[in-house]
Amino acid sequence: MKELVDYLSGRLTIENKSMLEKDILLHRVLFKLMNESWFKEEFAFKGGTCIIKCYLGYYRFSEDLDFTYIQQEELANISQKEVRRILSKKINEVLTLLSSVTLELGLDFKKDKANDRYVEIGGSNKFVTFKLWYHSELLNVEQFIKIQINFFELITEIIIEKNALSLYSKIPEKEMKLLFPEYIDILSDVSLKCYSLKEILFEKIRAILTRRGLKSRDFIDVFLIMEKESVHLQKNKKKIIAKIQFMLRYDKYIQNISLFNSKKVMIGAEEKLMLLPLKKGFESFLDEFSMYLKELFDEIKISN
């Protein structure tokens, strides 16, 4: 892997080799997951990695793979016991798939729901985090790739089909086949179902208000999405509040939103993820957007 990362770092003029290493693994995992037809049909890609791969290009690195279960209608109008049973079966199917994928890629993962090193389940099987571990040859430490799946989610926009772009697609195929044939899959884009950019924007706003630790990348993502999509936030306030209130059913999100007023944006903390300089206008956007967040926060407090 180190030789591949050194080669790609020189080819793409990217200095952050440890993030390149993680991105290679992220792309390979995504590629293999979407080669499984049932997973491709049942789960929509979303989150930061979706933004850079499906919409805005690689302005920053992303560290996770996030998905939402699409076929939620089958979980409506049945008992909570039956919901837990169905979701337990789905989680087992994903565990089996991840066991196969990680075995192929040489990652450390165990199909064990009781082992929180690898699997964390919340909300009566409604939210699951999987951790795929690897030894970073660049940092000489253990690292992990996080995969998060929401089985219950308020989806306000249409799920669409896109190609998730590879950072390495412009590397000549002949060159890769000659030098690193075992990694040829990193050149390929990945066909999948995903959230619209508008839906991702709404989720980012919700994350800012409910995430326990503030991440400056969320503000940067919103800034760049707004620049591309020109979404009128006031006109979409009801949808955004509905998404937030949907998550406020769960205790940890109620605790998180109560901490919102004490949060501060510190861009420097995540500069290591950035591949392009931040465009002008971010600070003025931040002032205006913070006022909008305060409006949302106050309305949610009143309604709850």
Whether residue 177 is predicted with pLDDT greater than 50 in this model: the reply is yes
What's the rounded Cα separation, in Å, for the pair 298 and 304? 10
pLDDT at position 265 is 65
Inter-axis angle of helices 80-105 and 17-34, to 10 degrees? 120
Confidence category of residue 266, pLDDT binned at 50, 70, 90: low
Residue 121 · residue 63 · CB < 8 Å:
no
At residue 123, the pLDDT reads 86
Sort 274 into a burial class: Cβ within 10 Å, 0-12 / 13-18 / 19+: middle
* Tens digit of each residue's pLDDT (9 = 90 or more) over 119-168: 999 888 899 999 999 999 999 999 999 999 999 999 999 999 999 999 99
Pick the CATH number of 1-195 from 3.40.50.300, 3.10.450.620, 3.30.1330.20, 3.30.420.40: 3.10.450.620
Cβ-Cβ contacts under 8 Å for 108 (sequence gap 6 or more): 102, 132, 133, 134
* Contacting residues for 165 by C-beta, under 8 A, at least 6 apart: 53, 54, 57, 189
Q: What is the mean pLDDT of the chain?
A: 91
Query: What confidence score (pLDDT) does residue 206 get?
Result: 92
Give the residue from 158, 129, 150, 131 showing the smallest Cα distance to 142. 131
Whether 213 has a pLDDT exceeding 80, the answer reads no
Q: Give the 3-state secondary structure of residue 240.
A: helix
Residues 241, 169: Cα–Cα separation, whole Å:
39
| Cβ(109)–Cβ(99) below 8 Å | yes
Q: What is the 3-state secondary structure (H, E, C) of 155-171?
A: CCCCCEEEEECCCCCCC
Q: How far is CA 194 from the centre of its chain?
A: 11
Rounded Cα gap, residues 303 and 237, in angstroms:
14
pLDDT at 19 over 60: yes
Can you give the pLDDT at residue 271?
A: 74
Q: Do the strands 190-194 and 160-164 form a parallel or antiparallel pair, or are they unpaired? A: antiparallel
The residue with greater pLDDT, 165 or 263, is 165
pTM of the full predicted structure?
A: 0.93
Q: Per residue, what are the HEC states of 3-46?
A: HHHHHHHHHHCCCCHHHHHHHHHHHHHHHHHHCCHHHHHHEEEE
Q: pLDDT grade, residue 298 (50/70/90)?
A: confident
pLDDT of 269: 61
Kindly indicate the confidence band of residue 262, based on its pLDDT and cuts at 50, 70 and 90: very low
CB 47 within 8 A of CB 30: no
Looking at residue 252, what is its pLDDT?
Answer: 61
- Pick the residue with more confidence: 270 or 10? 10
Q: List the domain boundaries for the chain.
A: 1-195, 197-304
Give the SS3 label for residue 273.
helix
pLDDT in tens, 63-107: 999 999 999 999 988 999 999 999 999 999 999 999 999 999 999
User: Which of 25, 48, 232 lies closest to 109 in space, CA to CA?
Assistant: 25
Share of the chain above pLDDT 90, in %: 75
And the tokens for 210? 């409910």
Over residues 239-246, the mean pLDDT reads: 92
Q: Measured between alpha carbons, how far is 183 from 166 in angstroms, rounded to an integer?
A: 13
Residues sharing a CB contact under 8 Å with residue 114, sequence separation 6 or more, in sequence order:
none
